[in-house]
């Protein structure tokens, strides 16, 4: 009775609205000698290109058979319009430090020459 089941993939947006992504019906054949044993089968589903930045939300997988259902914990997906841009201040720090050291060097040299006279 557990060999026929449905798999549903859906997401819930920030407003709590449920949107279906994909669903399919499965019929698993039980090999001889494996009856009345617990089995685990993995099913992967990839969400290719997200439609837009409004696709942000928590994505869930749910399996239903007969009068039972099991739901996954969900995966939160943050969609951005421009993609992920890592902020790096490496060049700014290097230029600032170089300019500061150059200014201190010029000031120290000027003070030494002024004191020498």
* Contact yes or no for 20/57 (Cβ under 8 A): no
Residue 28's pLDDT band (cuts 50, 70, 90)? confident
* Cα 32 → chain centroid: 41
What is the spatial distance between Cα 60 and Cα 62, in angstroms, rounded to a whole number? 7
Residue 98's pLDDT band (cuts 50, 70, 90)? very high
Bigger pLDDT: 17 or 79? 17
Determine the 3-state secondary structure of 60 from DSSP: strand
Please, is 64 exposed, middle or buried when counting C-beta atoms within 10 Å of its C-beta (0-12, 13-18, 19+)?
middle
Range scoring the smallest mean pLDDT among 13-22, 62-71, 90-99: 13-22
What is the spatial distance between Cα 25 and Cα 58, in angstroms, rounded to a whole number? 23
Its pTM stands at 0.55
pLDDT for the residue numbered 65: 87
What is the spatial distance between Cα 103 and Cα 82, in angstroms, rounded to a whole number? 39
Residue 99's pLDDT band (cuts 50, 70, 90)? very high
Residue 105's pLDDT band (cuts 50, 70, 90)? very high
């Amino acid at each position: 009775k557990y060999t026929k089941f449905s798999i549903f993939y859906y997401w819930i947006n920030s407003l709590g609205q449920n949107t279906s992504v994909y669903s399919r019906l499965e019929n698993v054949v039980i090999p001889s000698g494996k009856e009345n044993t617990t089995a685990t089968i993995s099913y992967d589903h990839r969400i290719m290109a997200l439609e837009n930045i409004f696709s942000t939300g928590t994505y869930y997988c749910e399996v239903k058979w007969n009068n039972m259902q099991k739901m996954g914990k969900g995966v939160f997906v943050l969609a951005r319009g421009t993609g992920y841009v890592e902020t790096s201040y490496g060049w700014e720090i290097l230029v600032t430090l170089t300019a500061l050291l150059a200014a201190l060097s010029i000031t120290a040299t000027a003070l030494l020459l002024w004191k020498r006279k």
